[in-house]
Amino acid sequence: MSLVALAGARVVLGVSGGVAAYKAVDLCRRMVEAGAHVSVILTEDAHRFIGPVTFSALSSEPVHTSLWDDASPIPHTRLGQSADVVVVAPATARVLSAYRTGYSHDLLSATLIATRAPVVVCPAMHTEMWENAAVQDNVVELRRRGTVVVDPEHGRLAGGDSGAGRLAAPEAILGAVAAALVPVGDLAGMRVLVSAGGTREPIDAVRVLANRSSGRQGHAIAEAARARGAKVTLVTTTELPVSAGIEHIAVETASEMSTAMMASAPSADVVIMTAAVADFRPERVVDGKWKKSDGAPDIRLVPTEDILARLGETKRSGQILVGFAAETSDLVSRAREKLVRKNLDLVVANDVSAPGVGFGHDTNAVTILSASGESREVALSSKHDVAVAVLDSVCRALAGIRRG
């Protein structure tokens, strides 16, 4: 994971009162090691979980805890104005509510209101709290305003049970912070079309033929393209959250995805086909629900349309077309064959049989091959970092077209 953007950056790290507050110590250490100047704000409730001495020893200056006891007479203004990015990890439900409504009752909330720097919030709370409608409304509104929200992960929680609400992995948070610091603009004015998720082909009224794709890589690419100034259209089968400013088209089947992609592709400067489209679908969909008492259904499969190949056939001059190749063997040779056969400018290949790679993971490792013969390997890292690497290659390809 590249953290070059953190070198020399002034980061305000807000730590609020949740059990995950101890994890912010590692975030602080990593950001300082990456060259950032880190100023830590501890809320009053955060003191119940972690002490200020630890952060003072690891951060770049003494910890800030109060609007009234700081060396500066207006600490929230000083911190907010001097920050290149403000990060809140963990962000409790209370902090999310205060930030959304502008309720500046302590130093952290006042600093959030006082800054014009990018803000990254990393929620962490119990599953019932995270899924509460009020909390989700706050998250949706913060995203609409441009706040970067690093969603919590599924995992073991403080109460001993498991579910959504666990603070995101430090790699994911650091990747989001680094991305927030990257100057926006190398895709400004460009129209980027991205597909994401695995298609679902109906067998009967309740059953589908599907695959393991979560859609996270496609969504990460869409978010990263938006952050770099592009006008993004995302065609997706998932219910993952989508930031304001991204045109969202929901589909389910390969046929629906084909219709949406072919309608949007002619006006796009860049088309990135990340979705895992089913190669086959049932020839006939059973009316209603197939009963177990009816015996095993006789399902005849027929090929679906090759959307990527069709996009390659209809690609207009100057358009960049990117495909993905999920393989389990002969990764590079099969990906390069796909690059040529489908008239791609770039192909992103990943070995989905490798640990932590591809479907269902928060991480990925890929090899990016270009039609010009270039090759770039991206080691196991967050899907956001992979998205950044893919878009870097897209920008190089666009630059090559301009020079040519």
Average pLDDT for 196-206 = 94
C-alpha count within 13 angstroms, C-beta hemisphere, residue 79: 32
Q: Which helix (H) or strand (E) holds 121?
A: strand 119-123
Contact 350, 327 (CB under 8 A): yes
**What is the predicted pLDDT for the residue at 390?**
96
**127-169 pLDDT tens trace:** 999 999 999 999 999 998 889 999 999 888 887 788 889 999 9
**What is the predicted pLDDT for the residue at 362?**
80
Token digits for 48?
């119940």
In the chain, the amino acid numbered 176 is A
**335-375 pLDDT tens trace:** 999 999 999 999 999 988 888 776 777 888 999 999 999 99
Average pLDDT for 93-109 = 96
Average pLDDT for 181-194 = 83
Q: What mean pLDDT is reported for the chain?
A: 92
Range of lowest pLDDT (43-52, 226-235, 286-295): 286-295
Is it the case that residue 403 has pLDDT exceeding 70? Answer: no
Distance CA 60, CA 87 (A): 15
Is it the case that residue 404 has pLDDT exceeding 60? Answer: no
**What is the predicted pLDDT for the residue at 183?**
60
**What is the predicted pLDDT for the residue at 283?**
93
**251-272 pLDDT tens trace:** 999 999 999 999 999 999 999 9
Kindly indicate the confidence band of residue 274, based on its pLDDT and cuts at 50, 70 and 90: very high
Distance CA 140, CA 319 (A): 33
**What is the predicted pLDDT for the residue at 275?**
96
Q: To 10 degrees, what angle do helices 307-314 and 254-264 make?
A: 20
**What is the predicted pLDDT for the residue at 150?**
93
**What is the predicted pLDDT for the residue at 159?**
77
Is it the case that residue 182 has pLDDT exceeding 80? Answer: no
Q: List the domain boundaries for the chain.
A: 4-181, 191-403
Between 179 and 126, name the one with better pLDDT.
126
Range of lowest pLDDT (54-58, 175-179, 305-309): 175-179
Is it the case that residue 229 has pLDDT exceeding 90? Answer: no
Between 159 and 76, name the one with better pLDDT.
76
146: closest CA among 80, 14, 234, 244? 244
**23-43 pLDDT tens trace:** 999 999 999 999 999 999 999
219: closest CA among 200, 233, 201? 233
Residues with catalytic function: 211
Q: Which residues contact 129 (CB under 8 A, 6 or more apart)?
A: 93, 135, 165
**What is the predicted pLDDT for the residue at 292?**
87
Q: Where are the alpha helices (DSSP H) in 102-169?
A: 107-114, 127-130, 133-144
**280-293 pLDDT tens trace:** 999 999 888 988 88
**What is the predicted pLDDT for the residue at 225?**
92
Q: What percent of the chain has pLDDT over 90?
A: 73
Is it the case that residue 92 has pLDDT exceeding 80? Answer: yes
Kindly indicate the confidence band of residue 185, based on its pLDDT and cuts at 50, 70 and 90: low
Instruction: Give the architecture-level CATH label for domain 4-181.
Output: 3-Layer(aba) Sandwich (3.40)
**What is the predicted pLDDT for the residue at 184?**
58
Distance CA 125, CA 152 (A): 8
3-class DSSP string for 150-173: CCCEEEECCCCCEEEEECCCHHHH
Average pLDDT for 299-309 = 96
**What is the predicted pLDDT for the residue at 140?**
92
Distance CA 124, CA 107 (A): 20
User: Does residue 198 sit in helix, strand or coil?
Assistant: strand
Q: To 5 degrees, how large is the angle CA 333–CA 337–CA 343?
A: 145
**What is the predicted pLDDT for the residue at 86?**
97
Distance CA 198, CA 323 (A): 14
* Number of Cβ atoms within 10 Å of the Cβ of 239: 9
CATH number belonging to domain 191-403? 3.40.50.10300
248: closest CA among 207, 202, 278, 215? 215
User: Does residue 353 sit in helix, strand or coil?
Assistant: coil
Domains 4-181 and 191-403 share a fold: yes
Q: To 5 degrees, how large is the angle CA 371–CA 377–CA 383?
A: 105
237: closest CA among 254, 220, 222? 254
